[in-house]
Amino acid sequence: MNERYISAKDAYVSIGVDTEAAMRELAAIPISIHCWQGDDVTGFEGDSHLTGGIQVTGNYPGRARTPEELMADIDMALGLIPGRHRLNLHASYAIFQGHPADRDELAPRHFKLWVEFARQRGLGLDFNPTFFSHPKSQHATLSSEDSDIRAFWIKHCRACIKIAEYFAAELGTPSLLDIWIPDGFKEIPADRTGPRARLKDSLDQILSISYDKTKVLIAVESKVFGIGMESYTVGSHEFYMNYAAKNNILCLLDNGHYHPTESVADKIPSMLLFSDKVALHVTRSVRWDSDHVILLNDEIKEIAREIIQAGTDRVILATDFFDASVNRIAAWAIGVRSLQKALLNALLTPHDRLRRMQDERRFTELLMLEEEFKLLPIGDVWNRFCAEQKVQTDQGLYDRVAEYEKLNVRV
């Protein structure tokens, strides 16, 4: 293994890339790992089933059913993922300990056990208000024509800001709060403006509370369609991009939320010419926003290249996928590790040389170097990185998951 790494290192030196520096940088990139892969976006509120135009498919056994199971599974997954990361929670993962509260009444105490969990493991926490899987989200939430419904969800979101503020204060690292709502229409809307005007007003009301902007980073996440909302989503890309710019909050790009030929890799550098930071949900859509587990495909590689060229401090990274057709710990491990492999690939890319070739319009050479680069031994660098980080290499990864599965049979 060592020999293979040494020869890989030399191969990268020949194109002007330092593998040691690449591994150092990779180890320092935090990814906010979504808790909701572990239990198929169910949460701990009891009776709710998943709504909001998102769907988990598959019937592989073993989803986490309690906070204890989910925490144990997250621990197992973290042990398979190199580097130090963050945990991304949804409001529906509140732990009530016998005293349930509705979404508009959520408070920091409902997340105390999560804060302890995070503190013990040195993780930062990010947060998401949950605008789906609730009786009051049946028709619409922040864009509702019913003022009581709107007031309920505004209150929920404000409560979540306070919870995120608590996370940041307790853990000493800012918390990203991402607002995604499922509001939209199956059929061609008669009025496209009204719901958006109401959403705008709701967001204004939410942001009018005082909160510590150094502790809570608020982001808005757009979408082009959802299941049952094929014709119109209120929170469209243009809506949120403009809202975020005008109100000095963050825009969050989920790469499953655009028309299939649109590229989030292309959006990142454009956004960053106008804002300091951009937030991402990394996922994999197959024909639709299906939230498949991230793999090391061209889309992810291109996104990673833009992140590395922009500077990793400018792109806030989170994962967002949910697959119930495979072992859920494996899903986390495969997905996050694939994103890290894409980042490693980008860190091993001779960006300056490639850029120069583009500027000098040496397109033949550029094409050739790109193709040469694709076959360099990145796998040997990845294995070395895993070994340095004391996590399993790809070989043997399945056995680790299978062993845990056997010890934790859930029927």
Among 54, 80, 294, 401, binds ligand RNT (CB under 6 A): 54
305-334 mask for Zn ion (x: CB under 5 A)? ---------------x--------------
Minimum separation from the CB atom of position 99 to ligand RNT (A): 25
Phi, psi (degrees; rounded to nearest 5) at 309: -70, -35
Scanning residues 284 to 323, which ones bind ligand RNT (CB under 6 A)? 289, 320
Q: In angstroms, rounded to a whole number, what is the distance separating the alpha carbons of residues 390 and 379? A: 16
Among 166-174, 273-281, 363-371, 384-392, the segment contacting Zn ion (CB under 5 A): 273-281
Q: Is the dihedral of CA 147, 148, 152, 158 positive or negative?
A: positive
Q: Which two tokens stand for residue 330?
A: 């494996």
197-236 mask for Zn ion (x: CB under 5 A)? ----------------------------------------
Q: Which residues contact 364 (CB under 8 A, 6 or more apart)?
A: none
Minimum separation from the CB atom of position 116 to ligand RNT (A): 23
Q: Which residues contact 338 (CB under 8 A, 6 or more apart)?
A: 293, 294, 295, 296, 300
Minimum separation from the CB atom of position 233 to ligand RNT (A): 10
177 binds ligand RNT per the rule CB under 6 A: no
Among 281, 284, 337, 341, binds ligand RNT (CB under 6 A): 281
Q: How many residues bind ligand RNT (CB under 6 A)?
A: 11
Minimum separation from the CB atom of position 130 to ligand RNT (A): 7
224 binds ligand RNT per the rule CB under 6 A: no
Among 73, 183, 254, 380, binds Zn ion (CB under 5 A): 254
180 binds ligand RNT per the rule CB under 6 A: yes
| CA distance to 120, 183, 346, 348, 368, per residue, from 25 (Å) | 24, 39, 11, 11, 27
Question: Would you call 1 exposed, middle or buried from its count of C-beta atoms within 10 A (0-12, 13-18, 19+)?
Answer: exposed
Minimum separation from the CB atom of position 56 to ligand RNT (A): 10
Of 106, 126, 100, residue with least CA distance to 115: 126
Q: How many residues bind Zn ion (CB under 5 A)?
A: 3
| CA distance to 143, 151, 152, 187, 338, per residue, from 198 (Å) | 5, 11, 14, 19, 39
Q: Is the dihedral of CA 252, 255, 259, 263 positive or negative?
A: positive
Q: In angstroms, rounded to a whole number, what is the distance separating the alpha carbons of residues 45 and 138? A: 16
Among 32, 42, 55, 128, binds ligand RNT (CB under 6 A): 128
Instruction: Cite the DSSP H helix spans in 139-254.
Output: 147-171, 193-207, 237-247
> Mind telling me the catalytic residues?
180, 221, 223, 254, 257, 281, 289, 291, 320
Among 41, 203, 315, 378, binds ligand RNT (CB under 6 A): 41
Minimum separation from the CB atom of position 54 to ligand RNT (A): 5
Q: Which two tokens stand for residue 95?
A: 């732990």
Largest CA distance in the chain: 67
Q: Which residues bind Zn ion (CB under 5 A)?
A: 254, 281, 320
Please give the residue ranges that form the binding site for ligand RNT (CB under 6 A). Answer: 36, 41, 54, 128, 180, 221, 223, 254, 281, 289, 320
